[in-house]
Structure 1
Amino acid sequence: MTVWNQPKENSIDALLHGMQFADGVEFDLRLSSDGDFVVYHNELVPGEGPKSERSIERMGTDELRSHGIVTFDGLLSQRPFTDAWQAGGKTANIEFKVPHPAAQIDDVDGYLRAMMRLLEEKLGPF
């Protein structure tokens, strides 16, 4: 008998598992400082130091990857995920997360509009 090991939260493995064994998945998107979507719920990466240095929106994509945070592009490159979403009747509930105040992003409405435009761009090919 095989023992199931729960995948790490917000990982591609966890989202693939959800698409395979549930009605779908819910995940959160945030923008990195270089304008890429990352799949991450929390406002800050774990660790010590000032919140402004651990804020997702103040960190670049490569740095976030070094913390094990996956990109939306990485998720969309997974055919089992996109096939289940497109043709398999599965649901992907995407939540936009607003930045932590430490990110010092004053125009939150503009930030969310930019996220919507980017999401439409990313999903266009699908």
Structure 2
Amino acid sequence: MLIILAEPTLTTNFSATETITIVNQSATIDSYLSLDGARVPRQIRRMITPYRIYIERKDAARGMARFYALSIETNLFGEMTLVRRWGRIGTGGRQRVRTHDREHDAVREFLMLLGVKRRRGYLPVVKTGDQA
């Protein structure tokens, strides 16, 4: 004996491909880079200007040779990160990373830290042709 159980079906005016498209367009997207056709949030877009600087402070009388590097980068989650590296010239130094939701906030902190270091005597390093 063969028993067939019928499941309730949903009848729509959409074709199969349209139904799949509607299912894939959810309000909660699990990835900023989804294939659902959703617009990519503004903060994930590439920065217009790359922010990166390397400055040094040297004082032979005090035996001081320090470096300080600042850069703004985008992490894998689309957030802006301010990366600070500092230490004695010739060493790896230390590093601190701070995450910002907006590029504007990261740039503001970048410029504030740069101003503090410039007031303390740090100067940009100028590369000559034979150092490149």
Q: TM-score, normalised by structure 1?
A: 0.24
* Larger-gyration structure (1/2): 2
Larger strand fraction of residues: 2
